[in-house]
Structure 1
Amino acid sequence: MNTAELVISPHDGAIHLSGYSLALRSGRRKEDVRKALAPLFRQEHAMGNGYEWLSFHKVTLGKQPCGFAAGFNHGALTEVHFSVSLPDAKLEGGWPTREAIEEELAFVRSQLNAQLGTEPDAASTAFPWGTVWSMSDPKGFQANSGVRYA
């Protein structure tokens, strides 16, 4: 399976996917993203209030399998959430264990540090162009990571 590596620019927060010319950035139109990333497209979900999400797979972050969801408000990109599937992540009843969540967070934070220069243990970091985060979601019992544009 061909995959695209996800890389975040420290200069403007644009998300680049290897092999694709379109960069995800603040305000990018939903139709343009769906068309340009069609081979990676998985599903669309309209919230009924102007917010819509496009989900994508066949992506990697730090060479690990990754999926991401691009969030749009009235058709304009506002944020991107992503999650990584580590090879030895432990599950209980189909859900990640606390240990697996912590391992994913540590991995994603190491990638954010390498790409953006964030602090290795930082749950979130603000930039002039927006915020990146990687933290535990206690309600969803999962890792929660992404980019929100200013």
Structure 2
Amino acid sequence: MKIDICCVGKVKESSFREMINEYTKRLSRYANVNIKEVADEKTPDNASSAEEEIIKNKEGARLLNVLKDDSYKIILAIDGKNLSSPELADKIDKIGLSGKSHIQFVIGGSLGLSDDVIKKADMKLSFGRMTFPHQLMRVILLEQIYRSYRIISNEPYHK
């Protein structure tokens, strides 16, 4: 399976980069994982709704350039479906069994995802109603994908 983590912005903190690299390395036994970063836009203080929409659309256009037509696209969204770790593992397994060999997870910028990116989604996934820093969300997502592959392979992993 090929898995892309498509995200807006760069990871600035070395501690987050180390964790991302660690989970990417662990996942290499199970899948070919790539991080696809697109540039973020600066959001001015007190930006209007119209300005925020323009920013989301610019970031969205960059994300659309890395999304592949033949991939199964899972966007991270607060209003998405909440899954347990075993349910996410089952979903990833079923995607592979359905003949798809490429999953792209999409993490938006600080303002979220553009409507055009949302329309491309095959699934909306939520990690709850809380907001997480985008850098931390990459780590959490990678850990859950790794946990999923451990579950799929019937390998132990702490609960």
Q: Same fold (TM over 0.5)?
A: no
Quick check: which one's helix share is greater? 2
Q: Mark the structure with the bigger radius of gyration.
A: 2
Normalising by structure 2, we get a TM-score of: 0.31
Quick check: which one's strand share is greater? 1
Higher RCO (CA < 8 A, seq sep 6+): 2
